[in-house]
Amino acid sequence: MGMNGRLYRVTRDLHLYLGLFISPFVLVFAVSVFFLVHAWLPGAGGAASGRRTVTALLLPANLEELSGRPLVDALKPVMTYAQVAGEIGFVQRNPREHRLIVPVSVPGRVTTVTIDTQTREASVERRTTGLADALVVLHKAPGPHLVSIRMNWWCMRVWQWLADATVYVVLFLSVSGVYLWFALRAERLIGLLLLGAGAATFFGTVYALCH
């Protein structure tokens, strides 16, 4: 077997097995895009699972003066004490009442922690948002919004790495798929027709949207 034959077999095997490995991640992105495009999330209203109060919080003296990532980092031990795990989102402030409203998200669940910095108490309310919302959260999680505070939960950082890996593997599958198709002479004509049709559809759609 020559060099070209070995290259073909290695590429074919990698294309097959990496494609099988990455398929669940691609499915997550595909299904979540459906929910994003159609703005339909079954059970998105969620169901609250009760409210509890946490007392004797150990709060940093300058907590109300912090913002951005320093604020998130200062709140992490507070969330641990309150037994709330997840990704800390944008913190809302109510200076007059000395309150901080901290949303903490786990795919499929949102916990709102309202902290009274004077009494050092927190109200914790958990709401289940469902599987569809969980998929949307995973789809948007590595995105460009609130970059300074995002990925503050280790699970989300792992997901970010997996999302990046998904992109790289999909790029490899695309390139290797073109190579495997080109190596099969009998399929070149139909492949060229489909490739041309896909390119025409894509650029036609872009042109229509921009004019």
**How many CB atoms lie under 10 A from the CB of residue 84?**
20
- Kindly report, residue by residue over 113-133, the tens digit of the pLDDT: 999 999 999 999 999 888 888
Distance CA 139, CA 36 (A): 9
- Kindly report, residue by residue over 71-118, the tens digit of the pLDDT: 999 999 999 999 999 999 999 999 899 999 999 999 888 999 999 999
Which residues is 112 bridged to in the sheet? 103, 125
- Kindly report, residue by residue over 135-191, the tens digit of the pLDDT: 888 888 877 777 888 889 999 989 989 889 999 999 999 999 888 888 877 777 887
- pTM for the model: 0.76
pLDDT at 31 over 90: no
